[in-house]
Amino acid sequence: MTGTPPQVDLMPAEWWERLVARLIEALVFGVFYYILFIALWGIFRTVGVLDAFEGRLPAVFAWVLAGLAYTAYDWWQLSRGGRTFGKAIMKIRVAPGDLPPRDRLKRALLYPAPAMVMGIPVVNLLAGMFVFGVGLLILIDKPLQRGPHDRLAGTLVVKDLR
C-alpha cells in the first residue's frame, strides 16, 4: 500500500479543502440517495416486499446504487484531469492527472466505495469508522497529507493553480 509518491514540487491541498470538496459531493450524492430511496420505497411497496428485512431493503439498495454511482463518478472524473466538481469548486485536483485506469480504480474502490455498504446494519458502522480513519490518516500524514487511497494509487491532492 505504498504506491509511488507523485511529484513533490506540487503544493499539497490543505485537509480542510479536501474535506469541503468531499462534503459538497456528499451533499449532491445524498440528494441522489434520497431520490433513489423514495423511488425504491415506492417500487418495493408496489410489489409487496417493503416489509422484507424489517423495511430496510429500499435503504440498502439506494445506498448500493448511490455508492456505485459515486465510485464510478470519482473514477471517471480522475480520468478527466483529476477534478471532481467538489475539487473544482475548491480549486484542488488529484496529481498526476494522467493516472492509468487501474490506479484510478484502486483509488475509487478504497474511497468512496465504502458508501455502498452504508445501508447495511453493523457494516455501516465499520464503513463509517473506515472513512473516519481515512480522514485521520490524511491529517497525520505530514507534509503530503495522503490517505490510504492516495498511497495505493500513487496520488497526491494538490492545489490547482491553473
The number of angstroms, rounded, from the C-alpha of 51 to the middle of its chain's C-alpha atoms is: 30
For 78-82, 113-117, 149-153, 155-159, which range has the lowest pLDDT when averaged over its residues?
Answer: 113-117
Tell me the H-state helices in the chain: 15-47, 57-78, 85-90, 101-110, 123-140, 148-153
**20: which 3 cell numbers?**
469541503
pLDDT digits 0-9 by tens, 42-98: 998 888 887 777 778 898 899 999 989 998 999 999 888 889 999 999 999 999 988
| pLDDT-derived band at 110, boundaries 50, 70, 90 | confident
pLDDT digits 0-9 by tens, 18-44: 999 999 999 999 999 999 999 999 998
Distance CA(49)–CA(41), nearest Å, equals 9
Residue 6 has pLDDT above 70, yes or no: no
* DSSP for residue 101: H
Residue 131 has pLDDT above 80, yes or no: yes
Distance CA(62)–CA(70), nearest Å, equals 12
pTM metric for this prediction: 0.83
φ and ψ of 98, to 5 deg: -110, 50
